Every structure is written in C-alpha cells, then in structure tokens.
Amino acid sequence: MGYYLRRTDLTFAILDDAPHAGGSWQHMWDSLHLFSPAEHSPLPGWWMPRQTGEPYPTVDHVVHYLHDYEERYALPVHRPVRALGVHSCENGFTVKTDCGSWHARVVVNATGTWDSPHLPHYPGAQEFRGCQLHTVDYQRPEPFIGQGVAVVGGGNSAAQILAEVSRVAETTWVTARPPRFMPDDVDGRVLFDVATKSRAAGGHGVGNLGDIVMVRSVREARERGVLHARPMFDRMNPDGIAWDDGGRLAVDSVIWCTGFRPALDHLAPLDLTWADDRPVTNGTASVDHRGLFLVGYGSWTGPASATLIGVGRTAKDTVAQVRAHLGPAGRWPATH
C-alpha cells in the first residue's frame, strides 16, 4: 500500500505496532524459508535480492528486505503504535491508539493474521499437564528433545514443524482430514500463477493442487516415514490425547498448527457484518463503511494477497479505489 500511495498526491500515515520493520516475518520459526526464489517474491517496485547459498530465502533475509524496502521509499511509518479501536466520525474515522488518536477519511487495514492464532477447544485441554503451544510460539526443535509430541494440523506449518521436531522427538501427526500433498515440483511460483489464472477464469484458486508444499524438509520427512497422520483426537486428558474408539496416547507436548483468523479486534466499534469468520467485503472494500478497506488477508481480499508477490496487485487496485473515494479533496490529511 505504501508504495502505491507514495505515487499519489495523498497524505497518509502507516501505523505499525512492532518496534522494528519486518512484520510477522520477524516472529516466525527459525528454519522457515519462502516457497519461492527471491526473484519471484518481490514487493512492487524493487526486486528482492538473491540470498547467497539459499535458493529459497530465509526469514532473516525477508526481514532485511522489508526493512530496506521501507527505507528505500521513505514510507511514513509510525512505530510502535497499536490501534485499539476504529470509530466512525463525521469526516471519516478516528483511530484510537496507545499513542493517542488519529483522524483520517480512509482507513486501510493490513494487520494480517499472525496476532490472531486459532486454538480449537477440546474437552480436557485444561487438565493436560504437558505443554501446549501454537505455531506462533514455536521457534526451534531443541526444547522437544526426547519428548513425545503431537503436532495438530494439516497445512504447511504443521508439516514443516513436524518434519524438524521428528528428528529429535517421538512425534504423532494428527489431522482433521487426510493430508493433501502437492506434487514435488510445485512451489510458490506455480501457486501464484495458478491462483492468478484461476481467479481470472472464475475458479477457486489453488485448492485442487493440495494443501502442503513439498519443501526440502518435508520431502526428507517423507523419506524417513514420518508423514503418516492419525485422525483428529476427541479429547485430552492429563497425560495426553484420546479417541472415542478407546485409543489413548501419552504425550509431553501438543503443538497446535491450526491456523489463524484476521487480526481485526480494533474494528469491533464499527460493528461490521461478518460471514465465514471474516468481514464481508466487495473486493477489499467494506460493505458497511465507505472508506474502510482490508488488504492482504488471503484469497477473499484478492488472489494470493497474503503473499509478498501477490499483495502488490491488490494494493494497487485498492489505492485506485481510495483515490476515487476521496476525489478532489484527497489531500485531507491523516492527523494525529
């Protein structure tokens, strides 16, 4: 958004609740890599530099790129500033933060999902004496050496975390449905192309390809015979997990790789219409409040819009809508 807003005559401010540039990338687990090479993972205007010795960039490389990108385009980022509530007012919106209030005619939400992890409720979870953590809490496998670990979830995070924890622990993979693996030659480049072409043809994105990208660590786990999932358990007990058919498994830790929801608690004062765990939008525009936009949350805000390369197209279209909405008075500033 900042890149395309810089190319207009609009006055804008970016509020970031983190003390440093890099977004959620600076909090992800140590071994994570992008699904695509650097040349297929750029933000608008500036290619991501290649990383020496790494065909698929590491998390640290992405964080450095985002920091340099912000400086390259002199984006007006204010940090750390946490939005507490967005309120409708006569001339647009008032954004109340932990550093005072901001007033703007347009509010674009690009808060992502990392700050809103989804933890499903299972009977007995509170009685479990072991460790429970979500993907957001996981950093590296060493704390699980010698343990019995259940990894819950059927997506990329679960498969990758399972792959490395299984090298140091006795792991059990638990999924709500049988895992769906993509072909070995599918990476982020293919996914972006398929998502773009599918949306243009009125299709449903990349779902037909599967859920799990076969990155190197997951392929290696397959060779070790690790990628065999059990059905989802029905309850937890003090020592582990259990199924209604009488099966029980003692575990020391449960890693919940169960996804995220949009991090939009700050929009609660606007009383938005929700469906399928997300606000109802027309593209990226809220159907409830003119001047309110949501960018980068996944396919419902644009094909591949939750990816580095994919969000640019959605952002460009959204800035055009913002400009049209503001009209000749578009330079009415965001003020603090």
Dist CA 61 CA 55 (whole Å): 12
Are 241 and 123 within 8 A, CB to CB?
Answer: no
Going by DSSP bridges, is the β-strand pair 14-15/274-275 parallel, antiparallel, or unpaired? Answer: unpaired
pLDDT value at position 327? 87
Which residues neighbour 225 within 8 Å (Cβ) at sequence distance 6 or greater? none
Q: Which of 226, 131, 111, 136 is nearest to 179 (CA)?
A: 226
- Other C-beta atoms lying within 10 Å of the C-beta of residue 203: 14
pLDDT value at position 206? 54
3 state SS of 46 = strand
| Helices 188-200 + 308-326 axis angle, to 10 | 40
Report residue 298 CA to chain centroid gap: 8
pLDDT value at position 30? 97
Which residues neighbour 134 within 8 Å (Cβ) at sequence distance 6 or greater? 117, 119, 255, 256, 257, 258
Burial class (CB in 10 A: 0-12, 13-18, 19+), 326: middle
**If DSSP states are collapsed to H, E and C, what string results for 84-131?**
EEEEEECCEEEEEEECEEEEECCEEECCCCCCCECCCCCCCHHHCCCE
Which residues neighbour 235 within 8 Å (Cβ) at sequence distance 6 or greater? 122, 123, 124, 241, 242
What's the number of CA atoms in the CB half-sphere (13 Å) around residue 138? 27
Residue 54 β-bridge partners = 51
* Structural domains of the chain sorted by starting position, each given as residue range(s) with its CATH number in brackets: 1-115+261-326 (3.50.50.60), 131-256 (3.50.50.60)
Dist CA 89 CA 86 (whole Å): 10
pLDDT value at position 201? 52
Task: Output the tens digit of pLDDT for each of the chain's 336 residues.
Answer: 999 999 999 999 999 999 999 999 999 999 999 989 999 899 999 999 999 999 999 999 999 999 999 999 999 999 999 999 999 999 999 999 999 999 999 999 999 999 999 999 999 999 999 999 999 999 999 999 999 999 999 999 999 999 999 999 999 999 999 999 998 888 766 665 655 555 555 555 555 678 899 999 999 999 999 999 999 999 999 999 999 999 999 999 999 999 999 999 999 999 999 999 999 999 999 999 999 999 999 989 998 899 998 899 999 999 999 999 998 755 545 667
The reported pTM is 0.91
